[in-house]
Amino acid sequence: MEFLLENYAVWKALHIIFVVSWFAGLFYMVRLFIYHTEANTKPDEEKRILQAQFNIMQNRLWVIITTPAMILTVVFGTLMLIANPGLLKMPWMHIKLTFVAILLVYHFISQGIMNRLKNGSSKWTSGHLRIWNEVATLLLVAIVFLVIMKTSLGWLGGVIGFFGVGIALMLGIKLYKKLRKN
């Protein structure tokens, strides 16, 4: 236990590094899903080539970066909690862990989307995937603000801020769609 506490800063640094890597993988993965889905509108030969390439890129990103980063994020976060169990007595940590649990669900739903794209059974449109990508952004914003601000933000401010970012993202997506059509 002393070893864990003595190296708390190392666990924290590694946790942050792998959180960044995990989110980078999730953000890029869903972007690849969008391109993969949009390839459906291409002529057959181009569609076949693009989708084969997207399958390779998605698989490599998932297996080499995104999932290992998720696992290591959880491992180093767990080491931090074991080294400093007092964190579990803080209400903000319970909220953070709830958001992390939601992020884990997001991760595995994304894996399912990848598998359905690979076998051609995905029903997701590129518009739905753009919105799906913003879910990860909302989770990132919520987790970072929660960890940095802890209790100083207050419940009401945190809830308003979280939904404010969500509304701003949705409006941004609508504006982007409108500009893209023109």
Model confidence over 70-84: pLDDT tens digits?
A: 999 999 999 999 999
Range of the domain at 96: 2-181
Looking at the chain, the whole-number percentage of residues with pLDDT higher than 70 is: 95
Cβ atoms of 30 and 136 closer than 8 Å = yes
Name the least confident of 51-60, 87-96, 151-160, 166-175.
Answer: 151-160
Q: What residues form the annotated binding site?
A: 15, 96
- Domains identified in the chain, total number: 1
Q: Is the pLDDT of residue 98 over 70?
A: yes
pTM of the complete model: 0.86
* Per-residue pLDDT, 25: 98
Q: Please state, rounded to an integer, the average pLDDT across all residues of the chain.
A: 91
Alpha helices in the chain (DSSP H): 2-6, 8-38, 44-60, 67-83, 91-118, 126-149, 155-181
Q: Which residues are annotated as a binding site for heme?
A: 15, 96
Taking residues 84-108, what's their average pLDDT? 94
